[in-house]
């Protein structure tokens, strides 16, 4: 099929139109009730919209889980002649395909979410930063934006209100680090995408030094639904501390790879069994959750329900929601070496711990892959990872060693046996 992806769940909110409507026909989105939330929002007070989003308990879906309403409030309160809204569609975590599906399958849902968000925070200009490799998403969004302008949902005096909003697509150029919001901002400004030192944070000082909200695609597509059905409806979905549905993506050794929308009250084992029809060719050995920098989950951990609170307690993250399954024929060293090579290439080079560290991590892991690693190499690797967890300036450097540390903790004997 067109999206190369099966939708495995049936009770969907965010995915409900995908594969059903023609993404290039705005009429079909409107016929499904689209843009009703925008009309409703434009009659509301801006602060009331932010309160609704805060009350819903929505957290950012890009991986960091920051409360969306609280983030918006920073920019709402900031005094400036110009504010910006950016949609982070630089989806680069291996195993993660949700943003692409959302953009290519139902682009108006995202655009509606963005217009409402922009109105709430007081932004008159917005960008969707799509990674350069997503040519189809870029084309689809450009067509969808033109249609929304034509119908009066975008542009000057939207739906007869006093609110004007201009939206355009900004492309990436093939740099994973641009998913980091300040790197992304620099990239839109026509610079190398190197993360900035923080603070100041973007909601106060972002694009062109103006207050800027950067939200993930999946976060923004929730907005029309929250406005339409109310904060309480959202709060009642799934676990109380992690309300709403989340998109999970199954890849790797799985019988039925695809995308799943489910409340966060289900274990990863259930997602794998119920939606993915189980592990392919053997038993499960581990799964990496949330992309390259995601944690490695043992079968025991996969059996638990990972709400946001539980993740905080055990200092793990489900990140973007990708579930990359490895069966018992896979060697954990091979996998983390692939990850280490990825980060060695994607480190932007701005700060030393990441630039040098990713290189050395790959070197040491290669020793194990060739059967030359020793106990002291493993100690060195662990020390290096602990330094990297604390010292780089951005999330890439700090998180890229997560899977290595997890592998050392859970699969130490296997690494040493290599």
Q: Is 189 in the site for other proteins (CB under 8 A)?
A: yes
**Phi and psi of 216, rounded to 5°?**
-75, 155
DSSP letter string, 207-273: GGGS-EEEEEHHHHHHHHHHHHH-HHHHHTSEETTEESEEEEEEEESBSS-EEEEEES-SBHHHIII
Q: Which of 252, 319, 321, 397 binds other proteins (CB under 8 A)?
A: 252
Contact at 8 Å (CB) between 96 and 288? no
222 near other proteins (CB under 8 A): no
Q: Does 321 bind other proteins (CB under 8 A)?
A: no
Total binding residues toward other proteins, as defined by CB under 8 A: 58
Q: Using CB under 8 A, which of the segments 70-78, 190-198, 368-376, 405-413 binds other proteins?
A: 190-198
Which tokens sit at 169? 């697509």
Angle between helices 68-77 and 46-56 (to 10 degrees): 160
Residue 356 tokens read as 């040098």
How many other CB atoms sit within 10 Å of the CB of residue 121? 25
Cβ closest to other proteins, residue 187 vs residue 269: 187
Nearest to 247 by CA among 40, 5, 39, 45: 5
What letter would DSSP give residue 25?
-
Instruction: Determine, following the binding rule CB under 8 A, whether residue 92 of this chain makes contact with other proteins.
Output: yes
| Shortest reach from residue 55's CB to other proteins, in Å | 33
- Give 136-155 as a DSSP string: HHHHHHHHHHHHHHHTTSSB
Nearer to other proteins, 26 or 178 (CB): 178
* 366/389 Cα distance (integer angstroms): 21
Q: What is the DSSP letter of 40?
A: H
Peptide bond into 199 cis (omega under 30): yes
| Binding test (CB under 8 A) with other proteins, winner from 48, 66, 146, 173 | 173
**Considering beta carbons, is residue 293 or 307 the nearer one to other proteins?**
293
Q: Cα separation of 415 and 418, whole Å?
A: 5
- From the list 152-160, 215-223, 303-311, 320-328, the region that binds other proteins by CB under 8 A is 320-328
Stretch that binds other proteins, among 72-80, 145-153, 191-199, 373-381 (CB under 8 A): 191-199
For other proteins, give the closer residue by CB, 33 or 349: 349
Q: Is 187 in the site for other proteins (CB under 8 A)?
A: yes
Instruction: Kindly identify the residues of this chain, within the stretch 255-284, that bind other proteins according to CB under 8 A.
Output: 257-259
- Assess 135 for contact with other proteins (CB under 8 A): yes
Q: Is 4 in the site for other proteins (CB under 8 A)?
A: yes
* Smallest distance from other proteins to CB 100, Å: 4
Does residue number 303 form part of the binding site for other proteins (CB under 8 A)?
no
The DSSP H or E segment spanning 412 is helix 412-417
Interface residue with other proteins among 157, 198, 345, 359 (CB under 8 A) is 345
C-beta of 37: minimal distance to other proteins in Å? 27
328 binds other proteins (CB under 8 A): no
Closest contact distance (angstroms) between CB of 232 and other proteins is 34
Rule CB under 8 A: say whether 174 interacts with other proteins: yes
Among 37, 68, 262, 288, binds other proteins (CB under 8 A): 288
Residue 124 interacts with other proteins (CB under 8 A): yes or no: no
CA proximity to 87, closest of 67, 65, 60 = 60
CB of 301 to other proteins, least distance (A): 18
Which of these ranges, 68-76, 232-240, 339-347, 371-379, lies near other proteins under the rule CB under 8 A? 339-347
Residue with token string 């080079």: 349
Task: DSSP for 77-139, please give it.
Answer: HS--S--EEEEEE---STT--HHHHHHHH-HHHHHHHHHHHHHHHT-SEEEEEE-TT-HHHHH
Q: Which of residues 93-112 bind other proteins (CB under 8 A)?
A: 93-97, 99-100
Pairing of strands 84-89, 212-216: parallel
> Interface with other proteins includes 343 (CB under 8 A)?
no
Q: Which of 310, 235, 303 is nearest to 271 (CA)?
A: 303
The CA distance from 19 to 337, in Å, is 37
Looking at 28, 51, 55, 136, which residue binds other proteins (CB under 8 A)?
A: 136
The reply to whether 322 sits near other proteins by the rule CB under 8 A is yes
Radius of gyration of the chain (CA): 21
CB of 227 to other proteins, least distance (A): 27
Binding site for other proteins (CB under 8 A): 4-6, 91-97, 99-100, 127, 132-136, 168-176, 187-194, 207-208, 249-253, 257-259, 288, 292, 322, 324, 326, 330, 335, 338-339, 342, 345-346, 348
């Amino acid at each position: 099929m067109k999206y190369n992806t099966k939708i495995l769940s049936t009770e969907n909110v965010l995915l409900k139109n995908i594969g059903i409507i023609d993404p290039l026909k705005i009429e079909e989105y409107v016929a499904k009730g689209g843009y009703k939330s925008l009309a409703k929002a434009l009659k509301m007070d801006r602060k009331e919209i932010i309160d609704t989003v805060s009350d819903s308990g929505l957290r950012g879906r890009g991986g960091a889980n920051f409360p969306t309403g609280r983030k918006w409030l920073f920019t709402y309160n900031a005094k400036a002649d110009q504010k910006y809204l950016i949609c982070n569609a630089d989806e680069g975590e291996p195993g993660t395909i949700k943003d692409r599906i959302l953009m290519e399958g139902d682009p108006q849902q995202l655009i509606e979410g963005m217009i409402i968000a922009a109105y709430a925070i007081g932004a008159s200009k917005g960008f969707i930063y799509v990674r350069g490799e997503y040519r189809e998403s870029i084309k689809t969004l450009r067509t969808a934006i033109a249609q929304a302008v034509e119908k009066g949902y975008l542009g000057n005096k939207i739906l007869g209100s006093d609110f004007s909003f201009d939206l355009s697509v900004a492309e990436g150029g093939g740099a994973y680090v641009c998913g980091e919001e300040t790197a992304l901002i620099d990239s839109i400004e026509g610079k190398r995408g190197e993360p900035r030192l923080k603070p100041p944070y973007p909601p106060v000082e972002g694009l062109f030094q103006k207050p800027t909200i950067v939200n993930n695609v999946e976060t923004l597509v929730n907005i029309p639904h929250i406005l339409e059905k109310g904060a309480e409806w959202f709060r009642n979905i799934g676990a109380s501390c992690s309300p709403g549905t989340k998109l999970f993506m199954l890849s790797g050794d799985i019988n039925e790879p695809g995308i799943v929308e489910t409340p966060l009250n289900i274990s990863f084992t259930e997602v794998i069994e119920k939606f993915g029809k189980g592990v392919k060719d053997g038993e499960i050995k581990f799964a990496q959750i949330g992309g390259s920098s995601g944690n490695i989950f043992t079968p025991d951990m996969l059996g638990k329900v990972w709400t946001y609170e539980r993740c905080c307690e055990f200092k793990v993250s489900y990140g973007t929601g990708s579930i990359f399954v490895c069966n018992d024929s896979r060697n954990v060293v091979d996998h983390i070496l692939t990850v280490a090579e990825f980060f060695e290439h994607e480190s932007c080079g701005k700060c030393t711990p990441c630039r040098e560290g990713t290189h050395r991590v790959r070197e040491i892991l290669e020793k194990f892959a060739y059967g030359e690693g020793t106990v002291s190499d493993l100690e060195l690797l662990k020390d290096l990872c602990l330094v990297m967890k604390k010292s780089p300036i951005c999330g890439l450097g700090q998180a890229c060693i997560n899977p290595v540390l997890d592998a050392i903790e859970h699969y130490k004997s296997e690494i040493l046996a290599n």
